[in-house]
Amino acid sequence: MTKTRFVFAVTLSLAGALPALAENPMVGGAPMYDTKTIVENAVNSADHTTLVVAVKAAGLVETLSGPGPFTVFAPTDEAFAKLPAGTVETLLKPENKDQLVKILTCHVVAADAMAADIGKMIKDDGGAHEIKTVGGCAFTASMQGDKLMIEDGKGQMATVTIADVKQSNGVIHVIDTVLLPQM
């Protein structure tokens, strides 16, 4: 019995001495693992089925499975549902692949930008920071209270609803609106 108490006491003292590791938030009811790629995690999110279908249709699976780093502003299924009726179906047609690729790559930044980093850039830039995407879009990040907001090329505002979902090749920030380029 003495041995067990000693081992238990040592375990408690070691556990108290180690820093707690921050866990990724759940997304779409699924755990997100920082050891998996953006694509490997996204396919498990029940909230991102439309995004996954679009990424596959655009031929971007290999790219977003690559080493990165990438920051992806990942619209939910509800975000896609806010688009005018028929928009998603039209974009998924093979003849519209270029437009789909443009829209999706406008959600990707070639960096590993955590929300605190973006917040600091916003503050350093006087309240708004331009984000340049791999799709050639320029969006504006700002803070609305404690919420990170992204304004797209059409003047729509997307709210980051889940920030800092670490991936092996970057980070995902879940957003509630599809970002559209100025066309």
Q: How far apart are CA 170 and CA 35, in angstroms?
A: 10
Q: How far apart are CA 69 and CA 121, in angstroms?
A: 18
| Residue bearing the bigger pLDDT, 172 or 23 | 172
| Residue bearing the bigger pLDDT, 8 or 70 | 70
Q: How far apart are CA 56 and CA 62, in angstroms?
A: 9
CATH code linked to domain 25-175 = 2.30.180.10
With 70 as the cut, is the pLDDT of residue 18 above it? no
**Amino acid of residue 108:** V
User: Domain boundaries in the chain?
Assistant: 25-175
Q: What is the pLDDT of residues 75-132, one digit of tens each?
A: 999 999 999 999 999 999 999 999 999 999 999 999 999 999 999 999 999 999 999 9
Q: What pLDDT is recorded for position 28?
A: 80
With 80 as the cut, is the pLDDT of residue 60 above it? yes
Which helix (H) or strand (E) segment is 70 a member of? strand 70-75
Q: What is the pLDDT of residues 124-145, one digit of tens each?
A: 999 999 999 999 999 999 999 9
For residue 21, give both structure tokens: 């590791």
What percentage of the chain exceeds 70 in pLDDT?
87
Q: What is the pTM of this model?
A: 0.84
Q: What pLDDT is recorded for position 104?
A: 95
Report the chain's mean pLDDT, rounded to a whole number. Answer: 86
Q: What pLDDT is recorded for position 8?
A: 32
Among candidate residues 42, 48, 31, the one with its CA nearest the CA of residue 169: 42
With 90 as the cut, is the pLDDT of residue 33 above it? no
